[in-house]
Chains A and B, each alone.
Chain A
Amino acid sequence: MVRTFGPLLAVALGSLVILLARGNPIAAYGALLQGALGSVQGFSETLAQTTLFIFAGLSVALAFRAGLFNIGAEGQLVVGALCAAVVGAHVHVAKPLEVPMCFAAGALGGAFWGFIAGFLRARFGASEVITTIMLNYIAYLGVNYLVAGPLRGSALAPETPTIDATAMLNPIIPGTRLTAAFPFAIVVAVAAWWWLKRAVFGFELRTVGRSERVARYAGISVPAVIVKTMMLSGALAGIGGACEVMGLLHRFNAQLSPGYGFTSIAVALLAQSNLLGVIASASFFAVLANGALSMQAEALVPKDLVSIIEGLIILFASANWIGAQFSLHRGPGSEPTDPGDEPVAAGST
């Protein structure tokens, strides 16, 4: 219940907060929607934002499906973005080659960052929750050092040099920042959804997510699945970072991600880890993120309200998620409301 109506409930509670602050919720949300969707400019920015949320949301959702809580999408995204920016600025080849190379660099960077956490979990049993949080700090401070020092490309600010024109994604609507990265993200989401459902590795990933023990008894190498999943998860976040560099910023700087990797956890939770659901969920958060400034400017409601709504959604969604974890641990049939051994769909001879 709470899960289904989480966003509505969060928006409703948001209204209450606005009222407490003596604002007008209708005007505030109106301005938010107007800003996010009311103009070609606003709408295209929202879609560009959706793109990043789709990739980062897929990253978190995919890990969830394997039973892994990847809090490290932020770090993976930043590392992937930096890798893409370096390749984009320093490798000079024709566009049909350079664009895929930048994407690959982003994916590899993110995959490497995910690999570290996956390896530590598979080899030493280190909780990926802890390691990915730590790796976020390492990524953040590490790239800050790199762009301030060895990789600095500008005298004015700590950032990498501007990437080649051949590494940039061009707007598909002139005058906007909406690039082919958006349809690409949709394609990746659909492909990932199908792959998870049908590919042998997707099957193994889901089995591990449901029960590592059953997976072991079925001959699945659980450590291999964990490592590969974390790499794929990191790669998806890294591609998101690459899109940000190639389509929007055209360079890497430390302000690239104001916590997008964390919002992506909310994206995945709201989507209930359904990879297709991530598209809708990412759009919702993109509208919030992109309309926040208009809301602040037009309705004089601080844009931090959006953070409150995000927080509430995470709260509602994770309440359910934790609930689900608990019922898993208690095992089937242990719930007193369960009709027990009796058939719901079928019986025996």
Chain B
Amino acid sequence: MSAALTPAVLRCQGITKRFGSVLANDGIDFDVRAGEIHALVGENGAGKSTLMNVLYGVLQPDEGTIEINGERVRFATCAHAMRAGIGMVFQHYLLVERFSVGQNVVLGREPSVRGFIDDGAAQAAVREIAARYRFAVDPAATVETLGVGARQQVELLRVLGRDPHIVILDEPTAALSPAETEGLFQVMDRLRSDGRAVIFITHKLKEVMRHSDRITVLRRGRVVATMDRAEADETQLASLMIGPQARAAQTSTPMTRESPVVLNVSGLRVTRDDGSLGVAGIDLSCRAGEIVGIAGVEGNGQMEFAEALYGIRPSAGGSVSLDGQDLTHASLSSRRRAGLRYISADRQREGLVLDFDAIENALLGDVRLSQRGSVVDVAFGRQRAAEIAERFRIEGYSSSTPMRRYSGGTQQKFLVGRETSGAPRAVIAFAPTRGVDVGAAFNIYERLRQVASAGACVVLISYDLDELRELADRIVVFHSGSIAGEVTPEHADDATLGRLMGSGAA
């Protein structure tokens, strides 16, 4: 922790950035020192990404100064920032799918022999950096064949290849599995011991508490606190991020053993795209007012189960019924008509049309339920969108703004809001708070509880064990497409869940 004594490698003062009338960054003072991991936390829309884009030369600040090693700099483009020793790994990877790892890493500064790319040299360069940071990535592999964690390593390799003093990681753990996350933290530790400055942007306070040296909290475009990790605790960080906000009392669900079964799944079998069995006979019933959590390591049949339940994927056997109505072979639209709703894990590709406005997005999926003649009931959509905006306290809501312009957390609120509108009977919520901040997650939990207490059932599939413990009445653990066991939240400690998730042995 000698970092405290080293001077800042990067210091910015009074950074202000406006988008139209919105103040995304409001006089931000921020600095990073060599050999420290500086966590930057804040909700969606707090101004983290804007600040980083300013530091990386993607955006130009309206006011304020940036200094590197005490010298004033101005970055007109990313290339300037890179030359000044800043490297950034974006949240959305910028890789060429069809190119090999090596080709991606050297992209933009390809080693060449008489005008032809020297693939051997490219791969050797990759191997060298990969060895230093202990990445297990094959330089010859094509990027499209890689998983999320490996893709991130490719991005990191690309950034590290330029030997940056300052490495910015924008929500690097958002899409990673626990094991991959662990690997990333080891890399971050190595970067720190190399004497590099690491800026770590995240929502996840546990990670912040475990892996950072200093913490800066942003709220509504301002720095509300900068502190050493030793001075911080999780609750305090959370309240700093959210700001003064009334935490509603947790209402207990009125579910009892006598409540009627709403959703009944028996012996469900579902095949994967490659023909193998993804779900191998699952029995699950969900009562009115109940939130059933589904835990499991990603890829143990959760996706196939959810898709078959919602009607995206045909089932290979077994049955599904809702309120006694058999839906095993029903189309997706008739399932919706029966009251089944689906909060997709991928809001941008499955849940929302980003170019549509809030009204049209509020109508998606239900447009035929509300139509007047053959005309879209715009008034209905406008009212529903306004209700969602009000219920989730969405700031700056405008019915005619394309969904693309809202932050990720706000988009998720719209998706959850829509799928819980109109008195649903059963809601399948797939990782409903993935990549959203504490405040939004809180709103979403609150909403799912409301839906359950109104007499619907909720199937919550999540990779976040805290989320499952917080929300579910009971937790069912998937392993290899079967149920490995079931526990109540009180008994769902990490060890028990881990054992069930890993081996399937109770």
- A341/B408 contact (C-beta < 8 A), A221-B333, A332-B348, A347-B44 known: yes
B393-415 contacts to A, CB under 8 A, are: 393-398, 401, 404-410, 413
Which residues of chain A come closer than 8 Å to B13, judged between CB atoms? none
B contact residues vs A (CB 8 Å cutoff): 19-20, 22, 24, 43-50, 52-53, 58-59, 78, 90-94, 170, 220, 242, 245, 310, 312, 331-333, 335-336, 342, 344, 348-356, 360, 363-365, 367-368, 371, 374-376, 378, 392-398, 401, 404-410, 413, 437, 439-440, 443
A171–B358 Cα distance when bound, in Å, is: 47
User: B355 touching A210 by the CB < 8 A rule?
Assistant: yes
- A347/B50 contact (C-beta < 8 A), A203-B367, A219-B365, A340-B170 known: no
Q: How distant is A315 from chain B, measured CB to nearest CB, in Å?
A: 25
- A199/B375 contact (C-beta < 8 A), A346-B394, A349-B392 known: yes
Which residues of chain A come closer than 8 Å to B170, judged between CB atoms? 340
User: A214 touching B352 by the CB < 8 A rule?
Assistant: yes
A198: CB under 8 A from chain B? yes
- A346/B44 contact (C-beta < 8 A), A331-B92, A334-B94 known: no
Which residues of chain A come closer than 8 Å to B53, judged between CB atoms? 339-340
A340–B47 Cα distance when bound, in Å, is: 10
A244: CB under 8 A from chain B? no
Q: Which residue in B351, B393, B406 is a CB contact (below 8 Å) of A349?
A: B393
Which residues of chain A come closer than 8 Å to B94, judged between CB atoms? 334, 336
A156: CB under 8 A from chain B? no
Which residues of chain B come closer than 8 Å to A336, judged between CB atoms? 58, 78, 90, 94
A198-252 contacts to B, CB under 8 A, are: 198-204, 206-207, 210-211, 213-214, 216-221
Residue with the highest number of chain B CB atoms closer than 10 Å, among A206, A207, A336: A336
Q: Which residue in B52, B245, B363, B410 is a CB contact (below 8 Å) of A347?
A: B410
Which residues of chain A come closer than 8 Å to B59, judged between CB atoms? 339
User: B365 touching A339 by the CB < 8 A rule?
Assistant: no
Which residues of chain B come closer than 8 Å to A207, judged between CB atoms? 353, 356, 364
A155: CB under 8 A from chain B? no
Q: How distant is B379 from chain A, measured CB to nearest CB, in Å?
A: 12
User: A203 touching B376 by the CB < 8 A rule?
Assistant: yes
- A214/B408 contact (C-beta < 8 A), A199-B375, A200-B375, A348-B437 known: no
Q: Which residue in B351, B405, B406 is a CB contact (below 8 Å) of A217?
A: B351
User: B413 touching A348 by the CB < 8 A rule?
Assistant: yes
A contact residues vs B (CB 8 Å cutoff): 198-204, 206-207, 210-211, 213-214, 216-221, 331-334, 336-337, 339-349
User: B22 touching A210 by the CB < 8 A rule?
Assistant: no
Which residues of chain A come closer than 8 Å to B336, judged between CB atoms? 219
User: B348 touching A344 by the CB < 8 A rule?
Assistant: no
Which residues of chain B come closer than 8 Å to A346, judged between CB atoms? 22, 45, 394-398, 401, 405-407, 410
User: B49 touching A340 by the CB < 8 A rule?
Assistant: yes
The 5 closest A-B pairs by CB, nearest first: A347-B45, A346-B396, A340-B49, A219-B333, A218-B365
Q: List 17 A-B contacts (CB under 8 A).
A: A198-B375, A200-B376, A207-B353, A210-B355, A211-B349, A219-B331, A336-B78, A336-B90, A339-B50, A341-B408, A343-B45, A344-B19, A345-B22, A346-B410, A348-B44, A348-B440, A349-B393
Q: How distant is A215 from chain B, measured CB to nearest CB, in Å?
A: 8
A313–B181 Cα distance when bound, in Å, is: 50
Q: How distant is A109 from chain B, measured CB to nearest CB, in Å?
A: 25
User: B50 touching A342 by the CB < 8 A rule?
Assistant: yes
Q: How distant is B334 from chain A, measured CB to nearest CB, in Å?
A: 8
User: B353 touching A210 by the CB < 8 A rule?
Assistant: yes
A324–B389 Cα distance when bound, in Å, is: 30
Chain B residue nearest to A342 in the complex (CB): B50
Which residues of chain B come closer than 8 Å to A214, judged between CB atoms? 349-353, 364
A201–B367 Cα distance when bound, in Å, is: 10
Chain A residue nearest to B333 in the complex (CB): A219
Which residues of chain A come closer than 8 Å to B439, judged between CB atoms? 348-349
Q: How distant is A218 from chain B, measured CB to nearest CB, in Å?
A: 4
User: B24 touching A342 by the CB < 8 A rule?
Assistant: yes
Chain A residue nearest to B25 in the complex (CB): A342
Which residues of chain B come closer than 8 Å to A210, judged between CB atoms? 353-356
Which residues of chain B come closer than 8 Å to A204, judged between CB atoms? 367
Q: How distant is A178 from chain B, measured CB to nearest CB, in Å?
A: 34
User: B365 touching A348 by the CB < 8 A rule?
Assistant: no
Which residues of chain B come closer than 8 Å to A221, judged between CB atoms? 331, 333
A345–B354 Cα distance when bound, in Å, is: 14
Q: Which residue in A203, A217, A334 is a CB contact (below 8 Å) of B312?
A: A217
Q: How distant is B162 from chain A, measured CB to nearest CB, in Å?
A: 16
Which residues of chain B come closer than 8 Å to A343, judged between CB atoms? 19, 22, 24, 45, 395-396, 405-407, 410
Q: How distant is B151 from chain A, measured CB to nearest CB, in Å?
A: 13
A210–B245 Cα distance when bound, in Å, is: 37
User: A344 touching B367 by the CB < 8 A rule?
Assistant: no
Chain A residue nearest to B243 in the complex (CB): A349
A345–B399 Cα distance when bound, in Å, is: 11
Which residues of chain A come closer than 8 Å to B348, judged between CB atoms? 331-332
- A342/B401 contact (C-beta < 8 A), A203-B367, A214-B353 known: no
A341–B375 Cα distance when bound, in Å, is: 34
